[in-house]
Chains A and B, each alone.
Chain A
Amino acid sequence: QQQVKQSPQSLIVQKGGISIINCAYENTAFDYFPWYQQFPGKGPALLIAIRPDVSEKKEGRFTISFNKSAKQFSLHIMDSQPGDSATYFCAANKGGSEKLVFGKGTKLTVNP
């Protein structure tokens, strides 16, 4: 049973474009929604996270949009750069140090 569904599986964007990755969750007890960036041979690195009391959070070129009623959240990468080429994972947990449930990942390629 996959509790967090992520799409698309892969994404190709031109430099300067907007990258959008979507996730949907099932468990309404989830209370924390992070996005991780992973480069080949490395562990996931926290990019940005949101809690359900806000609908949007922005950090630099990265924005999370959160729709609690639809149980969906998305990552927007503005002005995408070739250095953003990586695999992105959405995740969710019930808060605090509870176990993270990950989506299957989106491989982003930003062409120069």
Chain B
Amino acid sequence: DAGVTQSPTHLIKTRGQQVTLRCSPKSGHDTVSWYQQALGQGPQFIFQYYEEEERQRGNFPDRFSGHQFPNYSSELNVNALLLGDSALYLCASSLVTGYGYTFGSGTRLTVV
């Protein structure tokens, strides 16, 4: 039973560029959430998708956007990258009716 799969594992981008990160949820899960984890910090909630709609959103600018596909997989897009966007981006899946999240190993984004 595959857990949460994220791609790519590492990425280096230049300031001002755009990036797309991808996530496949754990089998049977219908909800995907994205978190940003800066070095030495706890994960910060970006947004959550359920039934292809953004269900909740954290305190992140509109440069951060996402999408959920009919197969429950999800993408996180970040436009106009800033140096401060360098972080580990975590995808977590869950059941909208249940408790608990399963996290992926993350995508390490470095903005130079």
Whether A99 contacts B58 by the Cβ 8 Å rule is: yes
Is B102 engaged at the interface, CB distance under 8 Å to the other chain?
yes
| B97 CB to nearest chain A CB (Å) | 7
B42 contacts A105, C-beta separation under 8 Å = yes
With most chain A CB atoms within 10 A of its CB, the pick from B42, B50, B90 is: B42
Give the secondary structure class of A's interface: loop
Q: Which of A42, A91, A99 has the most CB of B within 10 A?
A: A99
- What's the dominant secondary structure at chain B's contact region? loop
* Interface size class, chain B: 20 to 34
Is residue A69 contacting chain B, with contact meaning CB distance below 8 A?
no
Binary flags per residue of B68-112, CB closer than 8 Å to A gives 1, else 0 = 000000000000000000000010101111111111111000000
Which residues of A approach B to under 8 Å, CB–CB?
A: 6, 32, 34, 36, 41-46, 49, 89, 91, 95-105
B residues in contact (CB < 8 Å) with A: 4, 31, 33, 35, 40-45, 48, 50, 56, 58, 90, 92, 94-106
